[in-house]
Structure 1
Amino acid sequence: MDWKKLTIESRDIIQEFLQNKFETSDMNFTNIFLWSFSEDIQYVVNDEVLYIRGFYEGNEYYFLPVSKENNKEKIVEAVRKIKENNGKIVFIPEEYVELLKEYFLIQEERDSFDYIYLQKDLAELKGRKFSSKKNKINKFKKEYNFTYEKISKENIEDIRIFQREWTENRKDDNIILSETLGIEQLLNNYEKLELRGGVIKVDEKIVSYAIGEKLSDSMGVIHIEKGLFDYQGSYQMINMYVAKEEFSDVEFMNREDDFGSLGLREAKLSYQPIKFIKKYSI
Protein backbone atom coordinates (compact mmCIF):
# COMPACT_ATOMS: atom_id res chain seq x y z
CA MET A 1 0.00 0.00 0.00
CA ASP A 2 1.09 3.56 -0.74
CA TRP A 3 1.44 5.00 2.76
CA LYS A 4 1.41 8.80 3.16
CA LYS A 5 2.77 10.82 6.06
CA LEU A 6 -0.04 12.32 8.12
CA THR A 7 0.06 16.16 8.08
CA ILE A 8 -2.38 18.96 8.78
CA GLU A 9 -3.30 18.80 5.07
CA SER A 10 -4.53 15.23 5.68
CA ARG A 11 -7.31 16.45 7.96
CA ASP A 12 -10.13 16.63 5.41
CA ILE A 13 -9.48 13.08 4.19
CA ILE A 14 -9.22 11.64 7.70
CA GLN A 15 -12.31 13.54 8.88
CA GLU A 16 -14.42 11.92 6.15
CA PHE A 17 -13.88 8.62 7.96
CA LEU A 18 -13.69 9.67 11.63
CA GLN A 19 -15.74 12.82 12.23
CA ASN A 20 -18.80 12.32 14.48
CA LYS A 21 -18.37 8.52 14.40
CA PHE A 22 -16.36 7.93 17.57
CA GLU A 23 -16.41 9.14 21.16
CA THR A 24 -13.06 7.57 22.02
CA SER A 25 -10.23 10.06 22.32
CA ASP A 26 -7.92 8.15 19.97
CA MET A 27 -10.12 7.86 16.87
CA ASN A 28 -9.92 11.59 16.40
CA PHE A 29 -7.77 13.60 13.98
CA THR A 30 -6.41 16.07 16.54
CA ASN A 31 -5.13 13.31 18.81
CA ILE A 32 -3.57 11.41 15.92
CA PHE A 33 -1.99 14.64 14.60
CA LEU A 34 -0.65 15.47 18.08
CA TRP A 35 1.38 12.24 18.24
CA SER A 36 2.29 12.09 14.54
CA PHE A 37 5.47 14.12 15.04
CA SER A 38 7.05 11.64 17.43
CA GLU A 39 5.48 8.42 16.14
CA ASP A 40 5.77 8.88 12.36
CA ILE A 41 2.05 8.31 11.82
CA GLN A 42 1.03 7.43 8.27
CA TYR A 43 -2.23 6.65 6.50
CA VAL A 44 -3.62 5.16 3.31
CA VAL A 45 -7.10 4.76 1.85
CA ASN A 46 -7.58 1.43 0.09
CA ASP A 47 -10.89 0.05 -1.18
CA GLU A 48 -12.75 2.83 0.73
CA VAL A 49 -11.12 1.80 4.01
CA LEU A 50 -8.85 4.10 6.02
CA TYR A 51 -5.71 2.52 7.48
CA ILE A 52 -3.55 4.43 9.99
CA ARG A 53 -0.26 3.20 11.45
CA GLY A 54 2.47 4.58 13.69
CA PHE A 55 5.72 3.59 15.35
CA TYR A 56 6.05 3.76 19.14
CA GLU A 57 9.56 3.15 20.47
CA GLY A 58 10.35 1.46 17.17
CA ASN A 59 7.37 -0.89 17.27
CA GLU A 60 4.74 -0.64 14.55
CA TYR A 61 1.08 -0.37 15.56
CA TYR A 62 -2.21 0.19 13.74
CA PHE A 63 -5.47 1.93 14.55
CA LEU A 64 -8.71 0.10 13.80
CA PRO A 65 -9.33 0.30 10.02
CA VAL A 66 -12.42 2.39 9.29
CA SER A 67 -14.88 1.98 6.46
CA LYS A 68 -16.55 5.22 5.35
CA GLU A 69 -19.92 3.46 5.13
CA ASN A 70 -19.19 1.23 8.15
CA ASN A 71 -19.10 -1.85 5.92
CA LYS A 72 -18.51 -4.67 8.40
CA GLU A 73 -17.13 -7.11 5.84
CA LYS A 74 -14.56 -4.57 4.69
CA ILE A 75 -13.49 -3.86 8.29
CA VAL A 76 -13.00 -7.56 9.05
CA GLU A 77 -11.06 -8.04 5.82
CA ALA A 78 -8.86 -5.01 6.58
CA VAL A 79 -8.07 -6.32 10.07
CA ARG A 80 -7.21 -9.69 8.51
CA LYS A 81 -4.74 -8.01 6.13
CA ILE A 82 -2.99 -6.29 9.03
CA LYS A 83 -2.80 -9.53 11.01
CA GLU A 84 -1.32 -11.36 8.01
CA ASN A 85 1.63 -8.96 8.38
CA ASN A 86 1.78 -9.56 12.16
CA GLY A 87 0.51 -6.06 12.90
CA LYS A 88 -0.82 -5.07 16.31
CA ILE A 89 -4.11 -3.12 16.33
CA VAL A 90 -4.71 -0.82 19.30
CA PHE A 91 -7.38 1.58 20.63
CA ILE A 92 -10.25 -0.57 19.31
CA PRO A 93 -13.57 0.93 20.52
CA GLU A 94 -15.89 -1.35 22.46
CA GLU A 95 -18.65 -1.20 19.83
CA TYR A 96 -16.44 -3.21 17.46
CA VAL A 97 -15.76 -6.08 19.86
CA GLU A 98 -18.87 -8.08 18.90
CA LEU A 99 -17.96 -7.80 15.22
CA LEU A 100 -14.32 -8.80 15.62
CA LYS A 101 -14.27 -11.36 18.44
CA GLU A 102 -15.69 -14.03 16.15
CA TYR A 103 -12.55 -13.88 14.02
CA PHE A 104 -9.72 -12.56 16.23
CA LEU A 105 -8.35 -12.83 19.75
CA ILE A 106 -9.23 -9.52 21.41
CA GLN A 107 -7.63 -8.22 24.60
CA GLU A 108 -9.03 -5.56 26.95
CA GLU A 109 -6.57 -2.70 27.62
CA ARG A 110 -7.36 -1.03 30.98
CA ASP A 111 -4.56 1.54 30.62
CA SER A 112 -6.30 2.88 27.49
CA PHE A 113 -9.80 3.30 28.94
CA ASP A 114 -11.21 6.81 28.49
CA TYR A 115 -12.69 8.53 31.56
CA ILE A 116 -16.15 10.03 30.95
CA TYR A 117 -17.72 12.70 33.17
CA LEU A 118 -20.88 14.77 33.27
CA GLN A 119 -20.02 18.26 32.02
CA LYS A 120 -22.08 19.83 34.82
CA ASP A 121 -20.12 17.86 37.44
CA LEU A 122 -16.83 19.31 36.20
CA ALA A 123 -18.26 22.78 35.70
CA GLU A 124 -20.14 23.07 39.02
CA LEU A 125 -18.40 20.64 41.42
CA LYS A 126 -21.58 20.34 43.47
CA GLY A 127 -21.93 17.98 46.40
CA ARG A 128 -19.75 16.49 49.10
CA LYS A 129 -17.93 14.21 46.67
CA PHE A 130 -16.24 17.30 45.19
CA SER A 131 -15.59 19.14 48.46
CA SER A 132 -11.79 18.72 48.32
CA LYS A 133 -11.72 20.14 44.78
CA LYS A 134 -13.90 23.08 45.78
CA ASN A 135 -11.72 23.76 48.82
CA LYS A 136 -8.61 24.02 46.63
CA ILE A 137 -10.42 26.32 44.21
CA ASN A 138 -11.67 28.58 47.02
CA LYS A 139 -8.18 28.76 48.49
CA PHE A 140 -6.73 29.61 45.06
CA LYS A 141 -9.27 32.40 44.55
CA LYS A 142 -8.50 33.91 47.96
CA GLU A 143 -4.73 33.66 47.60
CA TYR A 144 -4.19 34.83 44.03
CA ASN A 145 -5.18 37.70 41.77
CA PHE A 146 -6.33 35.50 38.89
CA THR A 147 -8.09 35.85 35.54
CA TYR A 148 -9.53 33.34 33.09
CA GLU A 149 -9.06 33.86 29.34
CA LYS A 150 -10.32 31.95 26.33
CA ILE A 151 -7.43 30.80 24.10
CA SER A 152 -7.05 33.19 21.17
CA LYS A 153 -4.46 34.71 18.86
CA GLU A 154 -3.70 37.21 21.62
CA ASN A 155 -2.43 34.64 24.15
CA ILE A 156 -1.37 31.65 22.07
CA GLU A 157 2.29 32.71 22.01
CA ASP A 158 2.25 32.97 25.81
CA ILE A 159 0.95 29.38 25.96
CA ARG A 160 3.77 28.27 23.68
CA ILE A 161 6.33 29.85 26.03
CA PHE A 162 4.60 28.35 29.08
CA GLN A 163 4.68 24.85 27.55
CA ARG A 164 8.39 25.10 26.70
CA GLU A 165 9.22 26.23 30.24
CA TRP A 166 6.95 23.53 31.72
CA THR A 167 8.85 20.93 29.68
CA GLU A 168 12.31 22.20 30.71
CA ASN A 169 12.13 20.45 34.10
CA ARG A 170 10.90 17.19 32.54
CA LYS A 171 13.44 16.57 29.80
CA ASP A 172 14.13 13.04 31.03
CA ASP A 173 10.55 12.03 30.14
CA ASN A 174 10.37 11.02 26.48
CA ILE A 175 6.57 10.99 26.45
CA ILE A 176 6.43 14.61 27.61
CA LEU A 177 9.06 15.62 25.03
CA SER A 178 7.05 13.85 22.32
CA GLU A 179 3.82 15.47 23.49
CA THR A 180 5.40 18.93 23.48
CA LEU A 181 6.38 18.48 19.83
CA GLY A 182 2.73 17.86 19.04
CA ILE A 183 1.42 20.68 21.25
CA GLU A 184 3.53 23.16 19.28
CA GLN A 185 1.72 22.03 16.13
CA LEU A 186 -1.72 22.16 17.78
CA LEU A 187 -1.02 25.77 18.68
CA ASN A 188 0.20 26.49 15.13
CA ASN A 189 -3.08 25.10 13.74
CA TYR A 190 -5.44 26.01 16.57
CA GLU A 191 -8.24 27.51 14.48
CA LYS A 192 -7.98 25.01 11.64
CA LEU A 193 -8.38 22.15 14.13
CA GLU A 194 -11.45 23.88 15.64
CA LEU A 195 -10.06 23.63 19.15
CA ARG A 196 -11.40 25.16 22.35
CA GLY A 197 -9.57 26.04 25.51
CA GLY A 198 -8.57 28.53 28.14
CA VAL A 199 -5.85 29.75 30.46
CA ILE A 200 -5.70 30.73 34.12
CA LYS A 201 -3.40 33.68 34.79
CA VAL A 202 -2.08 35.01 38.09
CA ASP A 203 -0.84 38.59 37.87
CA GLU A 204 -0.85 38.24 34.05
CA LYS A 205 1.30 35.05 34.17
CA ILE A 206 -0.11 31.76 32.88
CA VAL A 207 -0.25 29.12 35.62
CA SER A 208 -2.44 26.54 33.81
CA TYR A 209 -4.13 25.92 30.49
CA ALA A 210 -6.25 23.29 28.74
CA ILE A 211 -7.12 22.52 25.13
CA GLY A 212 -9.96 20.35 23.83
CA GLU A 213 -12.63 20.10 21.17
CA LYS A 214 -16.15 18.86 20.52
CA LEU A 215 -16.15 15.16 19.61
CA SER A 216 -19.87 14.77 18.95
CA ASP A 217 -23.15 16.57 19.65
CA SER A 218 -23.06 15.39 23.26
CA MET A 219 -19.34 14.84 23.98
CA GLY A 220 -16.36 17.15 24.48
CA VAL A 221 -12.78 15.99 24.95
CA ILE A 222 -9.79 17.50 26.72
CA HIS A 223 -6.57 16.74 24.86
CA ILE A 224 -4.10 18.82 26.87
CA GLU A 225 -4.11 20.13 30.44
CA LYS A 226 -1.01 21.61 32.10
CA GLY A 227 -0.46 23.56 35.30
CA LEU A 228 2.14 24.70 37.81
CA PHE A 229 2.13 22.75 41.07
CA ASP A 230 3.67 25.81 42.78
CA TYR A 231 0.23 27.37 42.44
CA GLN A 232 -1.85 24.90 44.41
CA GLY A 233 -5.26 24.59 42.83
CA SER A 234 -4.16 25.60 39.32
CA TYR A 235 -5.24 22.25 37.85
CA GLN A 236 -8.59 22.29 39.60
CA MET A 237 -9.19 25.84 38.38
CA ILE A 238 -8.48 25.17 34.72
CA ASN A 239 -10.46 21.92 34.80
CA MET A 240 -13.55 23.70 36.15
CA TYR A 241 -13.32 26.88 34.08
CA VAL A 242 -12.74 25.19 30.72
CA ALA A 243 -15.64 22.79 31.34
CA LYS A 244 -17.89 25.69 32.34
CA GLU A 245 -16.83 28.32 29.79
CA GLU A 246 -15.94 26.27 26.70
CA PHE A 247 -18.13 23.16 26.84
CA SER A 248 -21.55 24.31 28.03
CA ASP A 249 -23.03 22.86 24.81
CA VAL A 250 -22.26 19.21 25.64
CA GLU A 251 -23.55 16.78 28.26
CA PHE A 252 -20.41 14.67 28.67
CA MET A 253 -16.66 15.24 28.87
CA ASN A 254 -14.01 12.74 27.81
CA ARG A 255 -10.76 13.32 29.70
CA GLU A 256 -8.87 10.58 27.85
CA ASP A 257 -6.94 7.69 29.41
CA ASP A 258 -4.39 7.44 32.22
CA PHE A 259 -1.69 5.64 30.18
CA GLY A 260 -1.18 3.27 33.11
CA SER A 261 0.16 6.05 35.38
CA LEU A 262 -1.04 5.39 38.94
CA GLY A 263 -0.86 9.08 39.83
CA LEU A 264 -2.90 10.07 36.80
CA ARG A 265 -5.37 7.27 37.46
CA GLU A 266 -5.90 8.46 41.02
CA ALA A 267 -6.41 12.05 39.83
CA LYS A 268 -8.92 11.06 37.15
CA LEU A 269 -10.87 8.79 39.49
CA SER A 270 -11.08 11.59 42.05
CA TYR A 271 -13.30 13.54 39.64
CA GLN A 272 -15.93 10.77 39.84
CA PRO A 273 -16.25 9.49 36.25
CA ILE A 274 -19.72 8.24 35.40
CA LYS A 275 -18.32 5.55 33.10
CA PHE A 276 -15.33 4.35 31.13
CA ILE A 277 -15.12 3.90 27.40
CA LYS A 278 -13.32 0.60 27.12
CA LYS A 279 -10.71 -0.08 24.45
CA TYR A 280 -9.15 -3.26 23.17
CA SER A 281 -6.27 -4.56 21.10
CA ILE A 282 -5.69 -7.38 18.65
Structure 2
Amino acid sequence: MIEFKALGLEDRALLLPFTNAKNRHIADTNFTNMFMWRHAREISYAIVQNQCIIQTQYPNMNPFVFYPLGDGNKKPIIELLLKHYAHLGLPLEFASMQKHECEELEGEFGDMFEIEPRRDRFDYIYHTHALIELAGRKYHKKKNHLNRFYLQYPQTQFEPLSSANVEELRAQNNAWYAHANADDKGLYFENLGINDALRYFDTLGLQGGLLRIDGEIVAFSFGEEIGAKSCALIHIEKANIAFNGAYQAINQALLKHLFPQTLYVNREEDLGIEGLRKAKLSYQPAFLLEKYYARQKE
Protein backbone atom coordinates (compact mmCIF):
# COMPACT_ATOMS: atom_id res chain seq x y z
CA MET A 1 0.00 0.00 0.00
CA ILE A 2 1.11 3.53 -0.75
CA GLU A 3 1.16 5.85 2.26
CA PHE A 4 -0.22 9.28 1.41
CA LYS A 5 0.43 12.36 3.56
CA ALA A 6 -2.05 15.23 3.82
CA LEU A 7 -0.73 18.28 2.00
CA GLY A 8 0.43 21.15 4.21
CA LEU A 9 2.34 24.38 3.89
CA GLU A 10 5.47 22.68 5.24
CA ASP A 11 5.54 20.44 2.13
CA ARG A 12 6.08 23.27 -0.36
CA ALA A 13 9.87 23.03 -0.57
CA LEU A 14 9.70 19.27 -1.10
CA LEU A 15 7.00 19.38 -3.77
CA LEU A 16 8.01 22.49 -5.71
CA PRO A 17 10.60 20.72 -7.92
CA PHE A 18 7.81 18.37 -9.05
CA THR A 19 4.91 20.81 -9.35
CA ASN A 20 6.81 23.71 -10.91
CA ALA A 21 8.92 21.85 -13.43
CA LYS A 22 10.14 23.56 -16.60
CA ASN A 23 7.46 23.92 -19.28
CA ARG A 24 4.72 22.75 -16.89
CA HIS A 25 2.00 25.36 -17.29
CA ILE A 26 -0.99 23.40 -15.95
CA ALA A 27 -2.81 24.90 -12.95
CA ASP A 28 -4.12 21.79 -11.23
CA THR A 29 -0.85 20.53 -9.76
CA ASN A 30 0.44 23.96 -8.76
CA PHE A 31 1.24 23.93 -5.03
CA THR A 32 -0.55 27.18 -4.18
CA ASN A 33 -3.63 26.07 -6.11
CA MET A 34 -3.79 22.82 -4.15
CA PHE A 35 -3.04 24.53 -0.84
CA MET A 36 -5.81 27.07 -1.37
CA TRP A 37 -8.43 24.46 -2.27
CA ARG A 38 -7.51 21.81 0.30
CA HIS A 39 -10.54 22.87 2.39
CA ALA A 40 -12.91 21.70 -0.36
CA ARG A 41 -11.34 18.26 -0.84
CA GLU A 42 -8.73 16.00 0.72
CA ILE A 43 -5.37 16.47 -1.02
CA SER A 44 -2.47 14.21 -0.16
CA TYR A 45 0.78 13.09 -1.72
CA ALA A 46 3.39 10.35 -1.70
CA ILE A 47 6.96 10.30 -2.99
CA VAL A 48 7.64 6.94 -4.66
CA GLN A 49 10.87 6.13 -6.50
CA ASN A 50 11.73 9.83 -6.67
CA GLN A 51 8.40 10.67 -8.28
CA CYS A 52 5.44 12.48 -6.78
CA ILE A 53 1.90 11.12 -6.69
CA ILE A 54 -0.84 13.57 -5.73
CA GLN A 55 -4.20 12.18 -4.66
CA THR A 56 -7.46 14.12 -4.39
CA GLN A 57 -10.76 13.02 -2.92
CA TYR A 58 -14.02 14.97 -2.80
CA PRO A 59 -16.62 14.09 -0.14
CA ASN A 60 -18.54 10.90 -1.00
CA MET A 61 -16.53 10.31 -4.19
CA ASN A 62 -13.76 7.95 -5.26
CA PRO A 63 -10.22 9.33 -5.01
CA PHE A 64 -8.25 10.19 -8.13
CA VAL A 65 -4.62 11.00 -8.76
CA PHE A 66 -2.70 13.22 -11.13
CA TYR A 67 -0.23 11.59 -13.49
CA PRO A 68 3.05 10.95 -11.61
CA LEU A 69 5.31 14.00 -11.49
CA GLY A 70 9.05 13.83 -11.89
CA ASP A 71 11.68 12.30 -14.13
CA GLY A 72 11.90 8.58 -14.70
CA ASN A 73 9.84 5.62 -15.84
CA LYS A 74 6.17 6.03 -14.96
CA LYS A 75 5.18 2.40 -15.62
CA PRO A 76 6.30 0.93 -12.26
CA ILE A 77 4.64 3.82 -10.41
CA ILE A 78 1.34 3.21 -12.21
CA GLU A 79 1.61 -0.52 -11.53
CA LEU A 80 1.94 0.28 -7.82
CA LEU A 81 -1.11 2.54 -8.07
CA LEU A 82 -3.12 -0.22 -9.75
CA LYS A 83 -2.29 -2.57 -6.86
CA HIS A 84 -3.01 0.13 -4.28
CA TYR A 85 -6.51 0.91 -5.53
CA ALA A 86 -7.27 -2.76 -6.27
CA HIS A 87 -6.57 -3.45 -2.60
CA LEU A 88 -9.14 -0.77 -1.76
CA GLY A 89 -11.61 -2.25 -4.23
CA LEU A 90 -11.47 0.87 -6.40
CA PRO A 91 -10.51 1.63 -10.01
CA LEU A 92 -7.45 3.76 -10.69
CA GLU A 93 -8.52 7.18 -11.95
CA PHE A 94 -6.32 9.96 -13.34
CA ALA A 95 -7.51 13.57 -13.60
CA SER A 96 -6.18 16.56 -15.55
CA MET A 97 -3.90 14.52 -17.78
CA GLN A 98 -2.17 16.27 -20.65
CA LYS A 99 -2.17 14.83 -24.16
CA HIS A 100 1.38 13.46 -24.00
CA GLU A 101 0.60 11.78 -20.69
CA CYS A 102 -2.44 10.05 -22.22
CA GLU A 103 -0.29 8.83 -25.10
CA GLU A 104 2.30 7.49 -22.66
CA LEU A 105 -0.38 5.74 -20.59
CA GLU A 106 -1.88 4.09 -23.68
CA GLY A 107 1.56 3.11 -24.91
CA GLU A 108 2.33 1.27 -21.68
CA PHE A 109 -1.10 -0.09 -20.74
CA GLY A 110 -3.00 -0.34 -24.03
CA ASP A 111 -6.76 -0.01 -23.65
CA MET A 112 -6.81 -0.64 -19.89
CA PHE A 113 -8.11 2.90 -19.34
CA GLU A 114 -11.07 4.78 -20.74
CA ILE A 115 -9.82 8.27 -21.61
CA GLU A 116 -11.97 11.30 -22.37
CA PRO A 117 -11.38 15.07 -22.63
CA ARG A 118 -12.80 17.35 -19.94
CA ARG A 119 -13.52 20.61 -21.77
CA ASP A 120 -14.77 22.35 -18.63
CA ARG A 121 -11.31 21.90 -17.12
CA PHE A 122 -9.18 23.16 -20.03
CA ASP A 123 -6.81 25.95 -18.94
CA TYR A 124 -6.92 29.20 -20.91
CA ILE A 125 -3.40 30.25 -21.92
CA TYR A 126 -2.80 33.76 -23.30
CA HIS A 127 0.17 35.68 -24.63
CA THR A 128 1.08 38.02 -21.76
CA HIS A 129 2.01 40.96 -23.97
CA ALA A 130 -1.33 40.67 -25.80
CA LEU A 131 -3.29 41.16 -22.57
CA ILE A 132 -1.07 44.07 -21.58
CA GLU A 133 -1.18 45.92 -24.89
CA LEU A 134 -4.72 45.00 -26.04
CA ALA A 135 -3.60 46.01 -29.52
CA GLY A 136 -5.40 45.41 -32.79
CA ARG A 137 -8.92 44.96 -33.96
CA LYS A 138 -9.73 41.85 -31.94
CA TYR A 139 -9.10 43.76 -28.69
CA HIS A 140 -10.77 46.99 -29.79
CA LYS A 141 -13.77 46.67 -27.44
CA LYS A 142 -11.55 45.62 -24.54
CA LYS A 143 -9.25 48.59 -25.04
CA ASN A 144 -12.17 51.02 -25.25
CA HIS A 145 -13.69 49.60 -22.07
CA LEU A 146 -10.38 49.98 -20.26
CA ASN A 147 -9.92 53.53 -21.54
CA ARG A 148 -13.40 54.48 -20.29
CA PHE A 149 -12.51 53.16 -16.84
CA TYR A 150 -9.40 55.34 -16.59
CA LEU A 151 -11.24 58.36 -18.01
CA GLN A 152 -13.91 57.96 -15.35
CA TYR A 153 -11.41 57.16 -12.58
CA PRO A 154 -8.14 58.92 -13.48
CA GLN A 155 -7.16 58.85 -9.80
CA THR A 156 -6.81 55.03 -9.88
CA GLN A 157 -3.59 53.82 -8.29
CA PHE A 158 -1.92 50.41 -8.50
CA GLU A 159 -0.14 49.03 -5.42
CA PRO A 160 1.86 45.80 -5.22
CA LEU A 161 0.71 43.56 -2.39
CA SER A 162 3.06 43.61 0.58
CA SER A 163 3.07 43.41 4.36
CA ALA A 164 2.00 47.06 4.33
CA ASN A 165 -1.41 46.42 2.76
CA VAL A 166 -2.15 42.68 2.82
CA GLU A 167 -4.11 42.74 6.10
CA GLU A 168 -6.20 45.66 4.87
CA LEU A 169 -6.91 43.65 1.73
CA ARG A 170 -7.92 40.58 3.73
CA ALA A 171 -10.42 42.69 5.65
CA GLN A 172 -11.81 44.22 2.45
CA ASN A 173 -12.16 40.84 0.74
CA ASN A 174 -13.94 39.39 3.76
CA ALA A 175 -16.29 42.37 3.74
CA TRP A 176 -17.11 41.66 0.08
CA TYR A 177 -17.64 37.99 0.87
CA ALA A 178 -20.04 38.89 3.71
CA HIS A 179 -22.41 40.24 1.05
CA ALA A 180 -22.09 37.18 -1.21
CA ASN A 181 -24.49 34.24 -1.50
CA ALA A 182 -24.05 32.37 1.78
CA ASP A 183 -25.31 29.13 0.18
CA ASP A 184 -22.60 29.11 -2.50
CA LYS A 185 -20.12 26.50 -1.27
CA GLY A 186 -17.70 27.34 -4.07
CA LEU A 187 -17.42 30.93 -2.85
CA TYR A 188 -17.12 29.72 0.73
CA PHE A 189 -14.12 27.51 -0.02
CA GLU A 190 -12.63 30.13 -2.33
CA ASN A 191 -12.77 32.69 0.47
CA LEU A 192 -11.02 30.30 2.86
CA GLY A 193 -8.33 29.82 0.22
CA ILE A 194 -7.91 33.55 -0.38
CA ASN A 195 -7.45 34.13 3.35
CA ASP A 196 -4.83 31.39 3.52
CA ALA A 197 -3.00 32.72 0.46
CA LEU A 198 -2.89 36.25 1.86
CA ARG A 199 -1.85 35.01 5.30
CA TYR A 200 1.10 33.06 3.83
CA PHE A 201 1.67 35.33 0.85
CA ASP A 202 5.47 35.50 1.02
CA THR A 203 5.93 31.87 2.03
CA LEU A 204 3.94 30.80 -1.05
CA GLY A 205 6.06 32.98 -3.32
CA LEU A 206 3.08 34.95 -4.58
CA GLN A 207 2.97 38.30 -6.34
CA GLY A 208 -0.09 40.49 -6.42
CA GLY A 209 -1.51 43.94 -6.62
CA LEU A 210 -4.56 46.05 -5.89
CA LEU A 211 -6.27 49.10 -7.33
CA ARG A 212 -7.32 52.05 -5.19
CA ILE A 213 -9.71 54.83 -6.05
CA ASP A 214 -9.68 57.71 -3.57
CA GLY A 215 -8.07 55.39 -1.03
CA GLU A 216 -10.65 52.62 -1.40
CA ILE A 217 -9.60 49.15 -2.57
CA VAL A 218 -11.71 48.39 -5.64
CA ALA A 219 -9.90 45.37 -7.11
CA PHE A 220 -7.09 42.93 -6.45
CA SER A 221 -5.41 39.95 -8.01
CA PHE A 222 -2.49 37.66 -7.33
CA GLY A 223 -0.55 34.86 -8.95
CA GLU A 224 2.93 33.49 -9.42
CA GLU A 225 5.49 32.50 -12.03
CA ILE A 226 5.47 28.84 -13.07
CA GLY A 227 7.17 26.72 -15.71
CA ALA A 228 10.68 28.05 -15.01
CA LYS A 229 9.20 31.57 -14.92
CA SER A 230 7.92 31.40 -18.50
CA CYS A 231 4.26 31.64 -17.48
CA ALA A 232 2.21 33.64 -14.98
CA LEU A 233 -0.51 31.66 -13.22
CA ILE A 234 -3.32 33.88 -11.95
CA HIS A 235 -4.96 32.39 -8.88
CA ILE A 236 -7.49 35.05 -7.91
CA GLU A 237 -9.02 38.18 -9.41
CA LYS A 238 -11.67 40.16 -7.53
CA ALA A 239 -13.23 43.56 -8.07
CA ASN A 240 -16.04 45.77 -6.82
CA ILE A 241 -18.57 45.67 -9.67
CA ALA A 242 -19.82 49.12 -8.67
CA PHE A 243 -16.73 50.37 -10.50
CA ASN A 244 -17.41 49.42 -14.11
CA GLY A 245 -14.23 48.19 -15.75
CA ALA A 246 -12.36 47.39 -12.52
CA TYR A 247 -11.99 43.73 -13.48
CA GLN A 248 -10.47 44.65 -16.84
CA ALA A 249 -8.21 47.20 -15.17
CA ILE A 250 -6.73 44.83 -12.57
CA ASN A 251 -6.31 42.13 -15.22
CA GLN A 252 -4.07 44.39 -17.29
CA ALA A 253 -2.37 46.23 -14.41
CA LEU A 254 -1.20 43.06 -12.67
CA LEU A 255 0.48 41.72 -15.81
CA LYS A 256 1.92 45.10 -16.75
CA HIS A 257 3.49 45.79 -13.35
CA LEU A 258 4.43 42.33 -12.09
CA PHE A 259 4.58 39.79 -14.92
CA PRO A 260 5.71 41.62 -18.10
CA GLN A 261 8.70 39.28 -18.47
CA THR A 262 6.55 36.14 -18.90
CA LEU A 263 5.63 34.73 -22.30
CA TYR A 264 2.27 33.32 -21.25
CA VAL A 265 -0.41 33.76 -18.64
CA ASN A 266 -2.63 30.92 -17.44
CA ARG A 267 -6.06 32.14 -16.32
CA GLU A 268 -7.27 28.64 -15.45
CA GLU A 269 -10.51 26.90 -16.47
CA ASP A 270 -14.12 28.00 -16.99
CA LEU A 271 -15.74 25.07 -15.09
CA GLY A 272 -18.42 24.91 -17.77
CA ILE A 273 -19.95 28.21 -16.62
CA GLU A 274 -21.35 29.81 -19.78
CA GLY A 275 -20.65 33.43 -18.84
CA LEU A 276 -17.14 32.63 -17.66
CA ARG A 277 -16.38 30.72 -20.85
CA LYS A 278 -17.61 33.60 -22.97
CA ALA A 279 -15.48 36.07 -21.00
CA LYS A 280 -12.34 33.94 -21.22
CA LEU A 281 -12.76 33.34 -24.95
CA SER A 282 -13.29 37.06 -25.54
CA TYR A 283 -9.68 37.68 -24.48
CA GLN A 284 -8.49 35.56 -27.42
CA PRO A 285 -6.44 32.76 -25.81
CA ALA A 286 -3.25 31.68 -27.54
CA PHE A 287 -4.38 28.11 -26.92
CA LEU A 288 -6.39 25.95 -24.57
CA LEU A 289 -4.36 23.53 -22.48
CA GLU A 290 -6.35 20.34 -22.89
CA LYS A 291 -6.97 18.03 -19.94
CA TYR A 292 -8.19 14.45 -19.96
CA TYR A 293 -9.69 12.02 -17.46
CA ALA A 294 -8.62 8.38 -17.47
CA ARG A 295 -10.48 5.64 -15.59
CA GLN A 296 -9.45 2.02 -15.30
CA LYS A 297 -11.94 -0.18 -17.13
CA GLU A 298 -13.81 -2.83 -15.18
What TM bracket, shorter-length normalisation? over 0.9
**Contact between 1:53 and 1:63, CA under 8 Å: does it hold in 2?**
yes
The change in CA–CA distance for 1:215 and 1:237 in structure 2 (over 3 A counts) is: same
Provide runs of 4+ in structure 1 moved above 4 Å: none
Q: Deviations over 1:38-83 (max 9, x none)?
A: 2121222233332222232432432324243232323432453465
**Contact between 1:67 and 1:75, CA under 8 Å: does it hold in 2?**
no
Q: Deviations over 1:112-139 (max 9, x none)?
A: 1000111111111111211221122111
Note if 1:201 corresponds to 2:216: no
1: CA distance, partners of 2:60 / 2:173? 26
1: CA distance, partners of 2:190 / 2:25? 21
Q: Alignment length, in residue pairs?
A: 282
The change in CA–CA distance for 1:221 and 1:67 in structure 2 (over 3 A counts) is: closer
**Residue of structure 2 equivalent to 1:264:** 276
Note if 1:183 corresponds to 2:194: yes
2: CA distance, partners of 1:82 / 1:25? 26
RMSD: 1.7
Note if 1:100 corresponds to 2:112: no
**Contact between 2:53 and 2:69, CA under 8 Å: does it hold in 1?**
no
1: CA distance, partners of 2:147 / 2:248? 10
**Residue of structure 1 equivalent to 2:261:** 249
TM-score normalised to structure 2 length: 0.89
**Residue of structure 2 equivalent to 1:162:** 172
The change in CA–CA distance for 1:113 and 1:136 in structure 2 (over 3 A counts) is: same
Q: Deviations over 1:6-60 (max 9, x none)?
A: 1100111211322224210112111111111221212222333322222324324
TM-score normalised to structure 1 length: 0.94
Residue from 140, 149, 154 that aligns with 2:159: 149
2: CA distance, partners of 1:72 / 1:89? 13
2: CA distance, partners of 1:179 / 1:82? 32
Note if 1:110 corresponds to 2:87: no
**Residue of structure 2 equivalent to 1:61:** 63
- Unmatched 5+ residue regions in structure 1? none
2: CA distance, partners of 1:232 / 1:97? 43
2: CA distance, partners of 1:221 / 1:96? 21
One-letter amino acid matched to 1:231: F
What SS does structure 2 have at the residue aligned with 1:186?
helix
Residue from 116, 129, 140 that aligns with 2:149: 140
- Unmatched 5+ residue regions in structure 2? none
**Contact between 2:121 and 2:270, CA under 8 Å: does it hold in 1?**
yes
| Structure 1 residues 43-54: aligned runs within 5 Å | 43-54=45-56
**Contact between 2:5 and 2:44, CA under 8 Å: does it hold in 1?**
yes
**Residue of structure 2 equivalent to 1:5:** 6
Q: Deviations over 1:209-237 (max 9, x none)?
A: 11110012321110111111111000000
Q: Report which of the two structures shows the higher radius of gyration computed on alpha carbons.
A: 2
**Contact between 1:53 and 1:60, CA under 8 Å: does it hold in 2?**
no
2: CA distance, partners of 1:150 / 1:272? 27
**Contact between 2:82 and 2:92, CA under 8 Å: does it hold in 1?**
no
The change in CA–CA distance for 1:97 and 1:254 in structure 2 (over 3 A counts) is: same
Q: Percent identity?
A: 34
